[in-house]
Structure formats: C-alpha cells, structure tokens
Structure 1
Amino acid sequence: MEEPIRILYVINALEVGGTEGQLAELISGIEKERFSPYVCCLRTIKDKSSYSLDCPIIALGVSRLMSLQTLIGMLSLVRYLNHNRIAIVQTFFIEGTILGVVAAKLAKSVSAIVVSKRDLGFMLTKRVIWQLKLIYHFADRFLANSKNVKDYLIKKEGVNRGRIDVIYNGIDIEALEKKMQEVSGADIRSREGIPEHVSIVGICANLNRKVKRVDLFLMAAAIVCKYLKDVFFVIIGEGCLKKSLLDLSEHLKIDLKTRFVGSQVNPIPFIRMFSVGVISSDSEGFSNSIMEYMGCGVPVVATDVGGNRELVEDGVTGLLVPCGDAEKMAEAIQVFLDQPAFRKKAGEEGKKVLLERFAKNKMIRDHEFYYASLTKEKRMAFKKKRGKFSA
C-alpha cells in the first residue's frame, strides 16, 4: 500500500470565514488513507475552538511579512516541510502565498506548489500585484473557486490559462439541515421583535468590508418599504461598519424594520426564515452565503458580479441585478415578495442545483482527484527527465 500523499495548507489564521470554513470541510472529509493533511498558520493560534481539525497544526507567529520573525518563520517552515516529507503545499491569501510559496520552493521534499485564489483582488494594490507576479513564477498550479476568478487571474495577475484549474466550493447539506433545527423560527422572531405574519428579507455579510455594500441593501430596503408594509430586514454579520450602517438605517427611516443580529455561530436558523436572501457586493469570488441561502431553499437576489452568475441562474434560482443599483435590487426583492409561487419554485430549484453541483462530497472528491493527478504528473515528469539524463 502506498504512503498517503502529504499536503500542507498555508493560511494566515484559522479565523471564522468562508475560506477557512471550506478548508476545514476539506480536511474533515478527505480520505485519510490516501491523503495526510497538515496546516500551517502564519499568526499565533488564539482560538483553537473555531475549527476542530483532525490534523497536525503549526503556528509561525508571523504578524507582518517585512520582519525578522518572517525570515525565522520561513526557515522553520522549510525544516518542517522536509522533516514531515510534505509533497504538496497549497497556499491561501496574500501573506500565506508569499511566505508559503518561497518556503515550499526551498524545501527538497515538496514536489508541487498550488496557489489558491478565491476572490477578485478587490484589496490588491499595484505593488502587491507586482509582488505576487514575482512569487507566481515559483508556483506550479493555481486553483480558483470559480470560472470568474480564473478569468481574473489571467487578465489581472498575468497567470497562464493552462496553469489554472477550477474547483467550486461545497456545502454539507445534511449538516445544514441539522443546523436548521437548533433554534426555532418562532423563538428568533420573539427575541428580535419580528411579528409572525411579516416576510423577512435578509443578508449575511462581513461588516468589516465596504465591498459587501450592505449600505446598498439598506437603500433597496428603504425603497421596498415605500410599497410594502409587512416586511422586515435582517442583517447577519459584525464589523467596524455596523455603526455607520445603523445610522444609515435611521436616516432612511427604516430602523424600526431592520434588525442587526450580529455574527452568528450558526446563522442557518435565521436564513431559513428569509423569504429572500440578498447579496449586494461589488465584488465576489464565489459566495458561501448564496450557497447557504440555496441550501435553505431561499431564493436569491444578487448583484451580477464575480462568480454569482455561476451559482444563480437568473430567473430560475434567483434574480441577478446590476452592481450598485438599489432600484433594481428593490424591484427584484418585490418580485419575490409579490409572487409566492415563483418564490417557492426558485427556492426549490436552488436547493436542487446545490445538491447536484455544489455538494461538499463533490468538492472533496474533486480535490482528491486533483492532488492525485498533481503527484502523478510530477512522477511522470521526473521519470522523463531522468531518462534524458541517463541517455
């Protein structure tokens, strides 16, 4: 029996987030007889309870790249890679990619370096893109989580099309359905002061990022409120923008109909109450929130950006609206609120699509095939190269 392929994932930190959650799902489900996962966090692990990972985890204690600690951490990582005979290194985020790719290139044991890209570079400056382009020369492959992200890598970061593969995010439907039952809708409505008879339109977003455009969601909500009385708006998420968004809801005179419920360890009981789930972002790689909406049978209204079109079939599982257009977003929300039959049908179709194309098990099997093919390619290339030298 062959030894399992050893894979090290390099990530900034194991904080609660979309990328971190997908990585945790992958590690929990990957076939351990064939693959042996390891995790390297750049920063110190403060909260080990965020994700329960069944694999070795190391922390380098690196807080910023331009520091002596980074050099020490990189050399420590090189030794760790060689000592544990790591074959594949996969990196996430800017810092994880810069440090992880260089360390992997210096390690003798590593046969394949994979850079993960999961957004459209909305935070990247020209200087950072230039730095990444230098680092990318040392990577073997790139793994995007949507075709749109792949196109971005080609056009904006100069990666050759032939070096990029796409594996979509996945969601655990069975686990999601169990989470639905943890808190009743009646309890949530009672706690948040939302009457039983009203519809709920909701959004799940990171309130630290302006790119999520929760302000646009509130502006659309204000328009909807002009025409419909029995509707409330729920915002799931926490962050530094919360105060300004609360002020905006008051300015728009919809504060009595909006509920900021904060970050939720389990947002699913809230989402299942939504009549409509909204994504208002100016930029999206591949939205985990949309997958959660669809998994709960909730129709989606989303801005037509990034990978949203790959998830939402316009007019079938949801409605796509132009980026930054509060009027169009409000119209789409009203369509679903005014047409219960269409709303129900779109929710059902969304759940069906999710099961067929974006299930957790499919995501895991796709990664397993990908890793196996990487090591096979490297073995074949090595044999071919050795044959040339022996000749």
Structure 2
Amino acid sequence: MASTASFIAQFNHRNIKILQSMGYEVHVAANFTHYGTLSAKSNEQFMAWLASKKVVVHNIPVERGLGKFHQNVAVLFFLNRLMKENQFKIVHVHTPIASVLGRLAALKNHVSVVYTAHGFHFSKTSAWINWLIFPIEWLFSFCTSELLLINQEDFLLAKRWLHAKNTQYVPGVGINFRLLDQYNLSDHLSAKQELLATYHLPEKSRILISVGELSKRKNHRIVIEALAMLDLPDIHFVIAGRGSQKKNLTDLAKHLGIENQIHFLNYTKNIRHLHLAADLAVLPSLREGLSRAGLEAIRDGVYLLGADIRGIKDYILNEEIGRVFDPLDAKALSILIKNNIQRPRQNLTNTTVQRLMMFDRAAVDKQMREIYQSIGE
C-alpha cells in the first residue's frame, strides 16, 4: 500500500500503530534536534521506538513558532522533494508552521492532508493580534481534506468559517480512562507520604499539583500569587515541568515570602504518581488546545481547578469533577484553593465517568482509524 508521512507535534505512538496496522509504510518528519520542552532522554526513547517499529525518520528544522524565513523555505523544498520521491497517500500535519509547509507541499504533489489543529492561536479569550493568523488558516483550509479540532470552541469556529473538505471534532489524543478503576484511597495515602518525604514536608501538609511547562502561557504565577494571599503555610505547590520562566517564578515566590511552599520538579514522566499524591490539582493556563494534564488529573482521582478557557472547560463537566476560574483573577483562585484543598477524595459517579469516556484513547483511536480509512478509500 502507498506510504504516508506524518508530522508529530505531540508524539502519538498510537496513530503510527493504526496506520501500520492498515498496511501503510509510515514516515515521520519532525525536528528531533530541537525538541522543545521534552527531555533529551524522552526524545531519544521516541527515536528508538520509531526505529524498532521500522518507521522512516526525517529530521527537519521545522519549529513550533513561526520559525525563520530561510529555514522554512529549506523545509518546504525538502518536503516537496520527499513527496515526489515517495508518492505518499496521506500527510498528517499538526503544528501551525508545519501545517502550512506540509499543506503547500501536499497541494503541489496532489496528496490528501489531515490537519489536527492542537488549539488555534486565536480564540474568544486571545489577544486581537492572534487573530492575524486567522486569514492563513482560512486560506489553507481550502487544501485540507480532513480538519480535526480537539475542543468545541475551535470546532464550531471551523465549521462556520473554514473550508476543509471535512471538519470533525476529535477530543485530543486520548488517555487511558480505564485507569480510573485501578485507583483507591490507599494509593493516594502512600503516594502522598512518599512525596512528603521527598521534600521533607510536615505530615499535615496539603499538596497542590500543576503539570505544565514553565512558560507565560501556562500561567503558574497566578497560583503563586493566590497562595500568597492565603497565608496558609501548610499548602505546598508542586510544579512538574521545565521552561524559561523558572527564575521568574522563583523570584516571585521569594518576593511574596512563600518560597518554602513552591517546589519545582522539572520534567517527569511519572505524572500518575504525582496526581495520586495530590490533594488538589490546578491548571491555570491562558491558552490550551485540549490540555492532557487536566484529563490525567481527573483520571487519577484529583479534584481539578481549571482556567475557564477552551480546552479545559471542555472536560470540567460539573462540580463533581472540578471548578473553573478566571485565569487572571488570583483572588478568586485563592478562595477556590482554600475551599477545596481539604476536599476528601471521592469516586466519580457512573454518569460522569460515561460522559468522560469520549476522551478515552480507545474511542479516539477508533475515530482516527475511520478518518484514515475514509481518505484511503
């Protein structure tokens, strides 16, 4: 069968497996030299996994941002040559600049394009300048076979204004919600004791967890400001992530006199263990596509305080799961933290679990298989 190339924005092993199970030869074109907020070890592990699955890898200097003009031109020429040589049947693009370059090359070579938009940069809550990107998305939608949106706000916007051949809502990359059945209260207590010992914290400490890179977009500073308003030294904020804002966040905590309550965990893959240890999770982002961190917190039994933005409020379906807040309002967040930090862990009702199963990886994988099949046919 004809081969297919894919840009991987969020390394989704399962899409590769789906395509291979359908008989496709899979190529992955991505930047494996500058891999963003991943750790070097995770990048190496992914490349090793690709090699073990006999995936053809193309290391290209495409960037997550706008990139440099000469660099983008070089990538475009490379992709054009790649598509000529391999006669691909499907190209699946993800990140904004990769989606533009990939669709240009695919248009020239008459290749069907699947584009997963991991959250448009323009939204109801974004700055007006972000809407300057809208005409680009509008133009390139005309050469998109399948446009996949991962949150409801983007989906409704795309259905109304964009012109892809087919537009579908696909709720993210999917997570394993079956793990909900494998959680119990003793898991929380043992994981919390281990975390308290790691940071040498008093036994009565309360743990607030946030998972996400240390960037302005992830907005961790609002949580630090909220904690400073509370004057409750037994609450400790653990941030799992790496990024350029670490020094600024550290300086802010010192300035507010709560540096002993803020703990940076750097990059970690053991997110489930962190969630099991937590008394409360917070996701204060200013912009998201569909935040996987929040879904994983819910799956692991943590009550979630999430920013009232698209990509987070999509799955805080009711107050049984969590609460939403204005990500610019530290006072409102401080009240929510105070009112919920001692909330006992409770299992979700069957009705709520069933509603969350749309985000389960099995449901997402089934939908992706059907999308690939429709293009193949």
Interval of TM-score (by shorter of Structure 1 and Structure 2): 0.7 to 0.9
Unpaired segments ≥5 residues, structure 1? 12-18, 377-391
Map 1:207-286; keep pairs closer than 5 Å: 207-208=214-215, 210-224=216-230, 226=231, 228-286=232-290
The structure with more radius of gyration: 1
Q: Contact 1:40/1:57 (CA < 8 Å) preserved in 2?
A: yes
Q: TM-score w.r.t. structure 2 length? A: 0.81
Percent identical: 20
Partner of 1:133: 138
Q: Deviations over 1:84-130 (max 9, x none)?
A: 3321111111220121001111124x2x2122211130597455444
Amino acid at match of 2:10: E
Cα RMSD after superposing both structures: 3.2
Unpaired segments ≥5 residues, structure 2? none
Q: Contact 1:42/1:60 (CA < 8 Å) preserved in 2?
A: yes
Amino acid at match of 2:97: E
**Displacement of 1:278:** 0.5
What SS does the corresponding residue of 2:171 show, helix, strand or coil? coil
What SS does the corresponding residue of 1:90 show, helix, strand or coil? strand
> How many Å separate the matches in 1 of 2:241 and 2:131?
30
What SS does the corresponding residue of 1:143 show, helix, strand or coil? strand
Partner of 2:29: 40
Distance 1:50 1:191, change over 3 A: same
1:373 aligns with 2:374: yes
Map 1:214-363; keep pairs closer than 5 Å: 214-224=220-230, 226=231, 228-340=232-344, 343-345=345-347, 352-353=353-354, 356-363=357-364
Amino acid at match of 2:376: T
- Which of 53-62 and 93-102 deviates more? 53-62
Distance 1:151 1:211, change over 3 A: farther
For residue 93 of structure 2, the aligned residue among 91, 94, 100 is: 91
- Which of 183-192 and 214-223 deviates more? 183-192
> How many Å separate the matches in 1 of 2:226 and 2:165?
41
For residue 7 of structure 1, the aligned residue among 1, 4, 7 is: 4
What SS does the corresponding residue of 2:168 show, helix, strand or coil? strand
Partner of 1:80: 82
> How many Å separate the matches in 1 of 2:261 and 2:73?
52
Amino acid at match of 2:225: M
> How many Å separate the matches in 1 of 2:165 and 2:80?
28
> How many Å separate the matches in 1 of 2:168 and 2:360?
18
Aligned pairs, how many?
352
- Which of 348-357 and 168-177 deviates more? 348-357
Partner of 1:389: none
Partner of 1:167: 170
Amino acid at match of 2:210: I
> How many Å separate the matches in 2 of 1:117 and 1:192?
39
**Displacement of 1:160:** 3.8
> How many Å separate the matches in 1 of 2:139 and 2:165?
18
Q: TM-score w.r.t. structure 1 length? A: 0.79
Q: Contact 2:106/2:113 (CA < 8 Å) preserved in 1?
A: yes
